[in-house]
Chains A and B, each alone.
Chain A
Amino acid sequence: MSSHLLRSDLDPILGGYLILMAVLAVGLVVQRRRAAAGKPTTRLTGRRKRGWSALILHVLTDALGGYLLLIAVVVLYYYGVAKVGGSFLASAITGSLLLLGISLPVFIAVSWLTQRPVKPTFRRPAWLGSLRRPFPGPGRAFRRSGRGGKAGH
């Protein structure tokens, strides 16, 4: 394997992998330290408490931060590595913005569909009140919670 090959192809790949792993590890350590100290997962969670406004704020800040990071990488690549022909920069900026514009409403809508309170459609007749239930059914409104109610965090 020639040194040119290492420098031109494998070094950027290895560097990219190590940077990505380092960023993820730092995020994980910060999150664990906050949890161990009894603080909310993020500062935003502490300010906004809970509810739809907190969720939407988090998703929007994630999307905006990710978009800005992507554009920074694209601009650095364009001016620092290779000036790709055509309308590369304009396409990257408008294309990813369009994808965000499509995906964010979809994510919010799916969140609402999966997390909305669902009321049971069947009501036990009053004349059955004194009889024993053969099996424990949902006696009150419950929330759908994805996979058995297991939280992601």
Chain B
Amino acid sequence: MDNHPVLGYLVWAVLIGAVFAWEGLALSGISGSVPTLSATFRVIMRYPPGRWALFALWLWLGWHLFVRGWHFLLRA
């Protein structure tokens, strides 16, 4: 963990900031055509394949963010 470069944290901060900016832009209605995140997910989940794809993405994200980081506990 100590070896992670600061740039990596900055990239994550920018990516998360981009998601928040998208939501803010959509809610403010300045652009007029940008959908909110909930509207986007609603469209994706309208069909079963989209629902399964989102579920798989959610599992993949949780696995990488919350579980894989603890695997060092299994190493001798």
| Residue positions of A touching B, CB distance < 8 A | 1, 5, 9-10, 13-14, 16-17, 20-21, 28, 31-32, 35, 41, 45, 50-52, 54-55, 58-59, 62-63, 66, 99, 103, 106-107, 110-111, 114-115, 143, 145-146, 151-153
Chain B residues within 8 Å of A145, by CB = 71, 75
6 extra interface residue pairs, beta carbon distance < 8 Å, beyond A13-B21, A107-B63, A145-B75: A9-B28, A14-B24, A51-B73, A63-B66, A110-B67, A111-B71
Chain B residues bordering chain A, tally (CB within 8 A):
28
Q: How far is the CA of A55 from the CA of B74 in the complex (A)?
A: 7
| Residue positions of B touching A, CB distance < 8 A | 1-2, 9, 13, 16-17, 20-21, 23-24, 27-28, 30, 58-59, 62-63, 66-76
Question: Are B30 and A54 neighbours in the complex by a CB distance under 8 Å?
Answer: no
Question: Are B9 and A28 neighbours in the complex by a CB distance under 8 Å?
Answer: yes
Chain A residues within 8 Å of B63, by CB = 107, 110
Q: How far is the CA of A152 from the CA of B75 in the complex (A)?
A: 12
Q: How far is the CA of A54 from the CA of B71 in the complex (A)?
A: 10
Q: How far is the CA of A21 from the CA of B67 in the complex (A)?
A: 21
Residue on A with the closest CB to B19?
A: A17
Q: How far is the CA of A145 from the CA of B28 in the complex (A)?
A: 46
Residue on B with the closest CB to A31?
A: B1
Given A50-B73, A143-B75; A111-B17 close (CB under 8 Å)? no
